[in-house]
Amino acid sequence: MPVFPLGAHADSRGVRFAVASTSADVVEVCLVDGGPGALTERRVELLEHTFGVWHGHIPDVRPGQRYGYRVHGPYRPWEGTRANPHKILVDPYARRITGRVDDLDAARGWVGDPMTGPPSTVDSLGHVPLSVVEEPLALSAPPRPEIPWSETVISELHVRGFTKLHPEVPPEHRGTYLGLAHPAVIEHLTKIGVTAVELLPVMASAAEPALVERGMANYWGYSTLGFLAPHGGYASVPGQEIAEFRTMVEALHAARIEVILDVVPNHTCEGGVGGMTLSYRGLDAPAYYSLGGSGHDADITGCGNTLDAGSPTVIRLVCDALRHWVLAFGVDGFRIDLASVLGRPRSGAFDPNSALLTAIAVDPVLSTTKLVAEPWDATGEGYRVGGFGVAWSEWNGRYRDAVRDFWRGHGRISELASRLTGSSDIYGLSGRRPWASVNFVTAHDGFTLRDLVSYERKHNEGNGEGNRDGTDDNRSQNFGAEGETTSPVIKERRLATTRAMLATLLLSIGTPMIVGGDERWRTQGGNNNAYCRDDETSWVDWTDTSEAALMEAFTARVAAIRRESPVLHRDQFYVDGEVLWWHPSGRPMEDGDWHDGDARTLAVVLADYYLLLMHAGDGAAACTLPKDHDYEPVLDSTVTDGTPASTRPLRGGATITLPPRSVLLLRSL
């Protein structure tokens, strides 16, 4: 009798169920019917047990059937086992999940103390999510766009937040998969040069215990419940999330925009041992979680628990899930949240050749997709920028810090120079290409680009954590006023600096990533950790203000310049002779120049074709151009839409004035 695949699979006679648990004594499938407050349940024991998988065929069950599992077995918290048949459990391989946690006491598997108290006898049915049997999926998604990495421009965005306020999207589609598929939204993405959307988590999620207690939701979705199921909250019609997700992918692909999913295979929504028993903890906690001494979770994610990257059960689940999104939906790639965890089996030392990272990188399906690592976790051991294998691109945190520091008048120009030209010092030695560096200035966690120039301190009071959450290392500036201001001088300085940072990002070698809404001058009011704010704090404002329109036009112009010039989206690192670093006094840079801590101007000739000038000072600066060429102005960040006031050629050897906080791109003639 076949054991694989795991999950619930319908055929003409019924449904075959299969779930992994190495510690269970008995596993029951619970078939649930009825409405709220009147649920009924039929339990069927799975009698077949092969290689740690409990399985069996139940006749006359049809797609649409809600179900869960109840596990009978040892309850020894001090050893990590927490079987409790009073808790109905979501199938880790469920392809659709319905419902939410509405009673934290019912969702908990313990009473009194999570380590010493007895198991809870409160039945969780009716208070926690359930799995749903789905029709068999044809694993034959249409061909993907396959945009070369070197031509990729990413917009990191939230399915709900990006379109929730969009006036051209029908009200019933706003904040949904179909909203993101709307022609007006796709037209906007195309206009600003986006070739890939990196979607904040769309796998079925549930609020972690602390948020349930506060009556809040995990808006970002970094709290996975089911790794194969699209999140039902983003469907315009309840229960249609699979079809609508497919429609969204097809619409984006038709516009040659790829879909990269931000996935969270490092922890789940269940929290630590004091949290909930919704699925993994009740099925087989030692097989899913990395456990420390005395059955406690070894938390290297900062989220209460850590999936064990060394467990065959976890390795199989993660690879099966990612492969499912590619084959069933046509997804083009994955950004792995806290990816260092995947290289730390049993929460030990980091190994770039660990079983899980290797399994993903060599998988015949997954290896054809874009793989992006967030190369850190919640510990010092996990900070591994540049430390992943050749199959991986990485969020380059050093790029973010260098650009922020330069444009606020800190740091050395030598660091910015390395980041500007693709970070070969980080990625070149391993044989990777410049596009392995995913360059970003802002991301979902942290200030928006507007807030980066408007706040020097986080303002997260609305999150309900006493402003203790979120990083204090923002490397931001406010130009003399914290938050919004009516001062036209401060406003212009903020806008000018923002345009300079956007120009830096899009003109750097590597893969640029913009946060969706930054091109619309979006603010979160100084909140740098809006993970629980499903409101106007997080939603993109589509009001047609002049500032938003001009920032959008500027972004589009710089992206077009990048797209049209192979020099600016190179597939290879520069070699000797292709880059000339230029001192503003009119000579090549010398070794001592790189150690000038007061230098605020950086100039570079790229492939004898472009001269890129960047000046971060508060006052104007003189720069003498190289004599070998005359130059045509192409981009001027001091102009609201980036169009130079004059395209009259500048003579080689001439001395020009660089305005404060400016980027000027010149093309050699």
Question: Known catalytic residues?
Answer: 337, 374
Whether a cis peptide bond, with omega within 30° of 0, leads into 5 is: yes
What CA–CA distance (Å, rounded) separates 70 from 130? 12
DSSP state of 109: S
Cross-strand pairs, 7: 18
What CA–CA distance (Å, rounded) separates 29 from 31? 6
Residue 195, classed as helix, strand or coil, is coil
The answer to whether 453 and 478 are in contact (CB under 8 A) is yes
What are the backbone dihedrals phi and psi of residue 327, each rounded to the nearest 5 degrees, phi first?
Answer: -75, -35
Tokens of 466: 């006493």
What CA–CA distance (Å, rounded) separates 454 from 408? 12
Tokens of 487: 């001062």
| β-bridge pairing 48-50 and 14-20 | unpaired
DSSP state of 112: S
Tokens of 612: 């890129």
Tokens of 619: 């006052």
Q: Is 557 exposed, middle or buried (0-12, 13-18, 19+ CB in 10 A)?
A: buried
- Amino acid at the residue 35: G
Tokens of 237: 């019609």
CA distances from 582 to 148, 500, 651 (A): 31, 19, 16
Q: How far is CA 1 from the centre of its chain?
A: 40
Q: How far is CA 496 from the centre of its chain?
A: 28
What CA–CA distance (Å, rounded) separates 642 from 105? 57
What CA–CA distance (Å, rounded) separates 320 from 528? 34
Residue 237, classed as helix, strand or coil, is coil
How many residues would you count in the chain? 669
Q: Is 442 exposed, middle or buried (0-12, 13-18, 19+ CB in 10 A)?
A: buried
The residue among 650, 643, 661 whose CA lies nearest residue 601 is 661
Three-point CA angle 474, 199, 206, nearest 5°: 90
The residue among 172, 295, 153, 277 whose CA lies nearest residue 234 is 172
The answer to whether 62 and 132 are in contact (CB under 8 A) is no
| β-bridge pairing 437-440 and 511-515 | parallel
The answer to whether 15 and 58 are in contact (CB under 8 A) is yes
The residue among 77, 97, 73 whose CA lies nearest residue 85 is 73
CA distances from 41 to 28, 127, 225, 542 (A): 11, 14, 22, 47
User: CB neighbours of 278 closer than 8 A, spacing ≥ 6?
Assistant: 87, 89, 90, 101, 107, 128, 129, 206, 225, 269, 270
Backbone angle region of 162, left / alpha / beta, with phi > 0 → left and psi within -120 to 50 → alpha: alpha
The answer to whether 629 and 651 are in contact (CB under 8 A) is no
